[in-house]
Structures are given as structure tokens and as C-alpha cells.
């Protein structure tokens, strides 16, 4: 899953892809480098940023994505990264997104963690895949205030218990730096417990992977987090390789070369 932020203020790539030409070029770059899913986000979820309105989020999709979406290669999956129900409803009404939905290639990546209010929408659109994220906010409108809702206990088992959806432990959301590391230690066991679910793993460029005291815009900082990400993801693959269950993972990342580096470090049986 390759991330494309059509925002002016996302960490590391804010402003880079919030015009249709740059979006289209980067989407094709990701696809050409092995990405199977494009995760499109029009609002930065970093807690230092203020929430934008529904109209502003929709206008960013209207301006940057809709003019060129139907020119992307067939069979690529599209993930919509939004916690606003109104935004996903609007996009589902558009013919270009409706095509992805009808072909079962559309995913709703909802970082709010709320599932109590999505039943009507999911019943209306049964082919829509949904990512259930771990976030402890008590209302989806408070999603960007997630750090105000951290808890001393990492009770992801009870949070995800019985969920039929794709699962995302949502590193960085409602978790302290130490809890992110603790979650990583527990992750292979958690995935094995919920082995029937597909898991989305997104640690790409997360702040808890930063160890050098550098400015956020420093390319050395990004390189550092990407190297650490590659090491951790390879460790996860190895930890799960002996599982008696079939494990389905989606790796969410900004740079497809990170996955290439992981893949090249293994010997695959081509037959």
C-alpha cells in the first residue's frame, strides 16, 4: 500500500502531490514500483494540525484526484484515508470511484476507530472493504485529538474482538512512544490471534522511529526512519513465517523501495 497525501501539511511530503499532475505522476511511480494499493489522504492526521472541514477535504479530492483517477492502470486498488463519513459517501457517489467499488477494489481506511456508526453505510455498500483502526477517541470528530485519549493499558485484543474487518493497530494513535514499542513487541502474537483478519501495518515515517535530533524536514531523518522500518518489517515477516495459519498482511508505506529492500533480502521459491 503506497501512501499519497494530497495535503499541504503532511510530514515529509506535504504539498508535493496536491495538484493533479503531481498526484498522477506519483501514483504511476508507486504502481510501476510494485504497489498494489494506493492510499489517498486529503487531511493530515498529525496531532499538531487542526482538523479541516468536510468541504475542504472533498474539494481536495475533487481538485487533485477525480480529474485523473480513471487514467490509472486497471486492477489497482484504491484506499480512501478519511474518518469523515460524509467524504466517503460523497466519493462513492462519483462514477470513477463507483467503478472501483463495483470491481471490489475500494477500501475505506478509517483511522477514527469508530465502528458503531458505519453499519448503514456498510449495508448499502457491501463490497466496500473497511479498515478498523485502533484509536481510543470517543467520537470520530475528535480523531485528530487522539493523543488526549491514550490509556495506560494496550488492550487491542478486546478492542478488535469479533471485528470482521481489516485490522490496523494504528501506530502513533492514542499511544505513547513507549507503548508503540510495546505494541511492536506484541504484534506477531496479536496477528496470530486474529489470523483470520487481514492486517494493515503502517509504521512508515512514524515519529517513534526517530532517534536522531534532526529537523523534521531533514532528509537524513526520513532515511533513518525508512531503514528502521525495513529492519522491523523483516523481523515481523520472520516472526510470522512459521505460523500454522495463513497470514495476510498489507504494508502501508511512503517509499516502495523499502519493500523492495525487504523482498530482496529473502530467497523466494519462484515455483
Residue 269, in any domain of the structure: no
Residue 271, in any domain of the structure: no
Residue 218, in any domain of the structure: yes
Q: Which residues contact 210 (CB under 8 A, 6 or more apart)?
A: 221, 224, 225
Residue 169, in any domain of the structure: yes
The string of pLDDT tens digits covering residues 43-95 is: 988 766 788 999 999 999 999 999 999 999 988 999 999 999 999 999 999 99
pLDDT of 45 = 80
**Mean pLDDT score, 191-216:** 88
As given in the structure block, the three cell numbers for residue 128 are: 466496500
For 102, the domain range is: 2-264
Cell 508535493 belongs to 16
Q: Name the domain count of the chain.
A: 1
Q: How many helices (H) and strands (E) does the chain have?
A: 9, 8
Residue 270, in any domain of the structure: no
Query: Whole-number mean pLDDT of the chain?
Result: 92
Residue 47, in any domain of the structure: yes
Residue 255, in any domain of the structure: yes
CA distance 207 to 222: 10
Strands in 37-41's sheet, in edge-to-edge order, are 2-5, 37-41, 77-81, 106-110, 129-133, 166-168, 199-201, 249-251
pLDDT of 271 = 46
88, HSE (Cβ side, Cα atoms, 13 Å): 25
Calculate the CA 17 to chain-centre distance: 17
pLDDT bracket for residue 216 (50, 70, 90):
low
What is the C-alpha R_g of the chain? 18
The CATH number that applies at residue 113 is 3.20.20.20
Q: Give the DSSP letter string of 102-157.
A: HTT-EEEEETT---TT-HHHHHH-TT-EEEEE----SSGGGGGGGGGG--SS--HH
Amino acid at each position: 500500500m503506497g501512501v499519497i497525501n494530497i495535503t499541504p501539511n503532511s510530514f515529509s511530503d506535504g504539498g508535493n502531490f496536491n495538484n493533479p499532475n503531481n498526484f498522477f505522476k506519483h501514483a504511476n511511480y508507486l504502481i510501476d514500483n510494485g504497489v498494489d494499493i494506493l492510499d489517498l489522504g486529503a487531511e493530515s492526521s498529525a496531532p499538531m494540525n487542526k482538523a479541516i472541514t468536510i468541504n475542504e477535504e472533498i474539494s481536495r479530492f475533487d481538485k487533485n484526484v477525480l480529474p485523473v483517477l480513471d487514467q490509472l492502470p486497471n486492477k489497482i486498488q484504491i484506499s480512501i484515508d478519511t474518518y469523515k463519513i460524509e467524504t466517503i459517501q460523497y466519493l462513492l457517489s462519483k462514477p470513477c470511484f463507483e467503478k472501483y467499488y463495483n470491481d471490489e477494489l475500494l477500501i475505506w481506511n478509517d483511522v477514527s476507530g469508530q465502528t458503531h456508526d458505519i453499519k448503514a453505510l456498510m449495508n448499502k455498500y457491501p463490497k466496500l472493504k473497511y479498515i478498523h483502526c485502533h484509536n481510543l477517541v470517543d467520537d470520530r470528530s475528535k480523531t485528530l485529538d487522539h493523543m488526549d485519549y491514550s490509556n495506560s493499558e494496550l488492550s487491542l485484543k478486546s478492542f478488535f474482538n469479533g471485528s470482521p474487518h481489516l485490522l490496523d493497530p494504528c501506530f502513533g494513535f492514542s499511544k505513547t512512544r513507549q507503548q508503540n514499542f510495546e505494541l511492536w513487541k506484541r504484534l506477531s502474537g496479536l496477528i496470530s490471534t486474529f489470523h483470520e483478519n487481514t492486517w494493515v501495518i503502517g509504521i512508515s515515517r512514524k515519529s517513534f522511529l526517530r532517534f536522531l535530533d534532526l529537523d523534521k524536514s531533514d532528509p537524513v531523518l526520513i532515511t533513518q526512519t525508512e531503514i528502521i522500518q525495513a529492519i522491523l518489517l523483516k523481523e515481523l515477516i520472520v516472526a510470522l513465517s512459521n505460523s500454522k495459519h495463513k497470514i495476510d498482511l498489507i504494508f502501508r508505506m511512503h517509499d516502495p523501495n523499502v519493500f523492495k529492500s525487504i523482498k530482496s533480502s529473502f530467497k523466494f521459491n519462484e515455483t
